[in-house]
């Protein structure tokens, strides 16, 4: 589980096809606590397990095996060499939860409809809702976009919007988004649970 507070920006070194899907190698600066084989790391909103880590010149070169199910739900297979990604290690039970609970299970790939300036240095993103369960996108609720915890600013029948602070734009890949880009979207897990339970109860009546 994660918090949606990006810790580092990584760079794709390689993506090679394997018998089981795809192997991604992501490079990022080292953490003070060494990365362990098998631990979960969130890569732009997608929870992946570490299969290998090589430390060299102050960098972690981390390998992940991505299975077909994950490839079908994400845009990871479309990443090109040197593409940037958001990186977050899994949270500890004694960590502060500064964002919201993020599972790293991508619900949908949606498109950036517009990127509009807001205030002196901020940006407002308008996102499509072509795939996502619209009942889980709630005004002033939480959503993770490419692994970044954000508050939903507004919701309509066809789209939702989020406002990005200058710090978020500078520290994550969201500052590079342009109209037409695809992003990973994960609805708030608490909201999804409520929608699932109430829908099930309604069907039983």
| Res 123: pLDDT | 97
Average pLDDT, stretch 79-100? 91
Correct CATH for 8-89 of 3.30.70.1290, 3.30.460.80, 2.40.50.140, 2.40.30.20 = 2.40.30.20
Average pLDDT, stretch 113-136? 95
pTM (2 d.p.):
0.93
Average pLDDT, stretch 50-58? 94
Alpha-carbon distance of 194 to 200, in angstroms, equals 10
| Res 95: pLDDT | 79
The shares of helix, strand and coil residues in the chain, as percent rounded to the nearest 5, are 20, 45, 35
Average pLDDT, stretch 58-68? 96
Average pLDDT, stretch 93-97? 80
Question: Which SS3 state, helix, strand or coil, does residue 167 take?
Answer: helix
108-204 CATH fold: Elongation Factor Tu (Ef-tu); domain 3 (2.40.30)
């Amino acid at each position: 589980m994660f918090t949606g507070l990006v810790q580092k920006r990584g760079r794709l070194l390689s993506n090679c096809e394997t018998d089981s899907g795809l192997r991604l190698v992501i490079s990022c600066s080292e953490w003070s606590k060494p990365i362990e084989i098998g631990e979960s790391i969130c890569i732009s909103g997608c929870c992946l397990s570490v299969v290998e880590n090589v430390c060299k010149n102050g960098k972690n070169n981390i390998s992940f095996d991505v299975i077909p199910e994950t490839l079908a739900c994400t845009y990871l297979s479309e990443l090109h060499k040197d593409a940037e990604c958001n990186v977050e290690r899994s949270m500890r039970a004694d960590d502060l939860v500064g964002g919201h609970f993020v599972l790293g299970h991508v619900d949908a790939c949606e498109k950036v409809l517009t990127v509009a300036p807001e205030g002196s240095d901020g940006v407002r993103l308008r996102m499509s809702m072509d795939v996502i369960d619209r009942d889980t996108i709630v005004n002033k609720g939480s959503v993770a976009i490419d692994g970044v915890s954000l508050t939903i600013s507004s919701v309509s029948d066809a789209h939702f919007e989020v406002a990005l602070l200058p710090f978020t734009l500078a520290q994550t890949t969201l500052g590079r988004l342009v109209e037409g880009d695809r992003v990973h979207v994960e609805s708030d897990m608490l909201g999804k649970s409520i929608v699932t339970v109430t829908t099930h109860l309604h069907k039983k009546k």
